[in-house]
Structure 1
């Protein structure tokens, strides 16, 4: 059952699979080119494809067709490829059983055809979301037999490629449209696919938070396709090689498993919103807002903004208090490695003299419910979860998806030269070890800006510059992931 022979343009090719890979092999290695009836030549080369990358396998009218994702080389991104050929009439039944067996192992018994709600933002990042969806994403989903309910956030002029595909036509773009869609969506979807950056995920989660059946809606996994500027969540789920690859992200839609993650409630007065990735104030918030006009540059915009910001080097006057659980950087790293190895992390330590002396817990048995104040002057505060906030910055390298805590990075005032040096290795998380970068894990924090004006950013979206509090919503979020933890290693 592990092998079938196909014929195309005079070339005979063997298709087979084992427990880990799908193989395409010419039956005669010394002579595997043949003249086709059109006078052109077709070369069959030996190809090995991980079973995870197999998308579809079927027999129709005596022709076997297998579609899969493959790289031209180790550094290139994935692309959809097809191998097809005829089988002898007497082999058709056997070939059909072979295709069924291949799909069974390729999808580990799961149904390839998913019922998906797809949101496409054509304006995210460099503005290529719609084109990438049509050319790269949609063909893979349709090859797997998925039922697609697609909404574009502006008028969509695409041709319906399949009767199983449904487009919602939107004549005008308006802020918060994704919130409305998520709030009103039905509960029967296998996943909610966002073709955009992190901002669309933020809107979707806040819409789900208003859903009539909120808890059930939060269980529908979100699968990001990276076409925005930062694409931090996609990088965290898929890692550096695949985190910016739309085909790899589409494969995750088909093959990923639910990963529970912490979310955060961001409260200002009587207003509350959901945050899934980060909250920041100071220089890092200024960078995000003041480079909006550079979205066409992708994540390079943040590097440009950072250089501008450290030249100005504005301080961030703020009153900041936290419910600190740990601040030992070495122990937090050990906890990360223990989680990735499937072990339980060691207990955390109480805060130390970095915090206000009068509110500091005085023993290891002190309650983590006590508020402690950070008193030193700072340039910025960055809080959140998930290692990457963009390709150029691993801001929270020891973050865990569901530890019930929020990681808080506070940059004390330091020299411009030190800030410039910090750019070296920022994408690998090296700033974590810089002495002036104070790093905490907390169960909650609150802040009051002391300046009259400035920028406060939540998941890349600007919010009112006023007092706020953040609390952890343990394991409320659900994303599709190839791994039971965040992918990037530190």
Structure 2
């Protein structure tokens, strides 16, 4: 190669580098900690990183350290023990399950407050559903990588969930009924990628279940919709033995609404999308301190067929079959399935951020703005609700 060609190549490289990253960011010599789950979803996360993300980090001159998970829960251990002072950010390359594990570990530390404020999180979707990709408005691994490099940070709500008096932490949602069954039972179709959700939905629509359920809802305005509300199960009251944000719900908490009916679905979501192509909470925000709760009692299959066809836009939630609330906390006490019980003997499924938890009463509380997440500077999340309303 001629010296003039080498000079031109070097100039082009430096120009691209300046477009990708601000020089001020390069002054931080600390690497980005990249956590990859090579076994999740379609098992493509390592390929996504090597082929589509790593070259961008190399071009930008941003150092990184890669660690792969070895088993379920190993990401929680990594997050619980990481020396956060050594890294400029912690990034997951997989789906929402890996991000859930990291949140759980970071907030189960005695120094969780320092970690939450000083270690930003990044998300590169390489799993099956990749709900957080849509929640940050960055749908490709390349855009997500650029977003992390450019270090545009926003506050992020997390949720605590308490069962059997023990509290843990997560980020995305609580599901019970149709969506929970679909999410967990479709694991058998994981090899199909995102299509697994559609196959699972068709099966569940053909054999639509109803389930007994009790709900306690806490509205931010404090206006009561129900009188004579019974006390919540004592097992959802935290014993405060864990690290992390304090759960403020007590036995004396005044709940604003109580529901005791058969339901076909309950979703309480912290952000709008629970999968990259399925919106379950169009009014949810990354850091508003509230859950978008949607409840359906109806066995009208056409309502759910609409949800399947209009899942990405969330337009199905305009139907009269769906009851919507904004809540700062919710307690769910699962009952028995009425029809089409599982062949595996399950009496029901409680789903927290894509992970099956105990079939037992559960408290979900939002903790506003405690985490920090890399989100594109240009992303306007208010457009989601505006598009849904129009």
Q: TM-score, normalised by structure 1?
A: 0.66
Q: Alignment partner of 1:201: what SS?
A: helix
Question: What is the CA-CA distance between 1:199 and the residue it aligns to?
Answer: 0.3
CA–CA distance in structure 2, aligned partners of residues 233 and 486 of structure 1: 13
For the Cα contact (< 8 Å) 2:155–2:287, is it kept in 1?
yes
* Larger relative strand fraction: 1
Match in the other structure for 1:462: 356
Q: Alignment partner of 2:39: what SS?
A: coil
Match in the other structure for 1:180: 77
Gaps of 5+ in 2: 231-252, 338-346
Instruction: Tell me if 1:193 matches 2:91.
Output: yes
Question: What is the CA-CA distance between 1:486 and the residue it aligns to?
Answer: 3.4
1:273 to 168, 175, 183: 168
Instruction: Tell me if 1:65 matches 2:10.
Output: yes
CA–CA distance in structure 2, aligned partners of residues 212 and 147 of structure 1: 28
Instruction: Tell me if 1:430 matches 2:319.
Output: no
* Larger relative helix fraction: 2
Match in the other structure for 1:119: 35
CA–CA distance in structure 2, aligned partners of residues 440 and 119 of structure 1: 36
Question: What is the CA-CA distance between 1:221 and the residue it aligns to?
Answer: 1.3
1:285 to 180, 183, 188: 180
Instruction: Tell me if 1:217 matches 2:111.
Output: no
CA–CA distance in structure 2, aligned partners of residues 126 and 104 of structure 1: 35
Match in the other structure for 2:274: 389
CA–CA distance in structure 2, aligned partners of residues 7 and 349 of structure 1: 71
Match in the other structure for 2:130: 231
Which protein has greater RCO, CA pairs closer than 8 Å, 6+ apart?
2
CA–CA distance in structure 2, aligned partners of residues 416 and 290 of structure 1: 19
CA–CA distance in structure 1, aligned partners of residues 134 and 181 of structure 2: 23
Q: Cα 1:151–1:414, aligned 2, differ >3 Å: closer, same or farther?
A: same
Question: What is the CA-CA distance between 1:174 and the residue it aligns to?
Answer: 2.1
Q: Alignment partner of 2:40: what SS?
A: coil
Please tell me whether Structure 1 or Structure 2 has the larger radius of gyration of its CA atoms. 1
For the Cα contact (< 8 Å) 2:271–2:285, is it kept in 1?
yes
Instruction: Tell me if 1:450 matches 2:364.
Output: no
Match in the other structure for 2:244: none
Question: What is the CA-CA distance between 1:349 and the residue it aligns to?
Answer: 8.6
Q: Cα 1:281–1:152, aligned 2, differ >3 Å: closer, same or farther?
A: same
Instruction: Tell me if 1:261 matches 2:156.
Output: yes
Question: What is the CA-CA distance between 1:204 and the residue it aligns to?
Answer: 0.5
Match in the other structure for 2:145: 250
CA–CA distance in structure 2, aligned partners of residues 369 and 478 of structure 1: 31
Match in the other structure for 2:292: 407
Instruction: Tell me if 1:208 matches 2:121.
Output: no
For the Cα contact (< 8 Å) 1:197–1:227, is it kept in 2?
yes
Match in the other structure for 1:315: 210
Match in the other structure for 1:159: none
Q: Cα 1:349–1:467, aligned 2, differ >3 Å: closer, same or farther?
A: closer
Q: Alignment partner of 2:325: what SS?
A: strand
- Tell me the alpha carbon deviations over residues 1-39 of structure 1, each in whole angstroms, 9 at most, x when there is no partner: xxxxx964xxxxxxxxxxxxxxxxxxxxxxxxxxxxxxx
For the Cα contact (< 8 Å) 1:259–1:478, is it kept in 2?
yes
CA–CA distance in structure 2, aligned partners of residues 322 and 105 of structure 1: 48
CA RMSD, Structure 1 to Structure 2 (Å): 2.5
Q: Cα 1:111–1:487, aligned 2, differ >3 Å: closer, same or farther?
A: farther
For the Cα contact (< 8 Å) 2:224–2:256, is it kept in 1?
no
Q: Alignment partner of 1:317: what SS?
A: strand
For the Cα contact (< 8 Å) 1:125–1:298, is it kept in 2?
yes
CA–CA distance in structure 2, aligned partners of residues 439 and 137 of structure 1: 39
Q: Alignment partner of 1:426: what SS?
A: coil
Instruction: Tell me if 1:110 matches 2:27.
Output: no
CA–CA distance in structure 1, aligned partners of residues 112 and 191 of structure 2: 35
CA–CA distance in structure 2, aligned partners of residues 426 and 131 of structure 1: 29
- Tell me the alpha carbon deviations over residues 218-256 of structure 1, each in whole angstroms, 9 at most, x when there is no partner: 221111111101111121102xxx41x111111111114
For the Cα contact (< 8 Å) 1:265–1:274, is it kept in 2?
yes
136-145 or 410-419, which deviates more: 410-419
Question: What is the CA-CA distance between 1:400 and the residue it aligns to?
Answer: 1.4
Q: Cα 1:132–1:260, aligned 2, differ >3 Å: closer, same or farther?
A: same
Question: What is the CA-CA distance between 1:196 and the residue it aligns to?
Answer: 0.2
Q: Cα 1:194–1:234, aligned 2, differ >3 Å: closer, same or farther?
A: same
Match in the other structure for 1:144: 60
Question: What is the CA-CA distance between 1:110 and the residue it aligns to?
Answer: 2.9
Paired positions, count? 348
CA–CA distance in structure 1, aligned partners of residues 309 and 18 of structure 2: 46
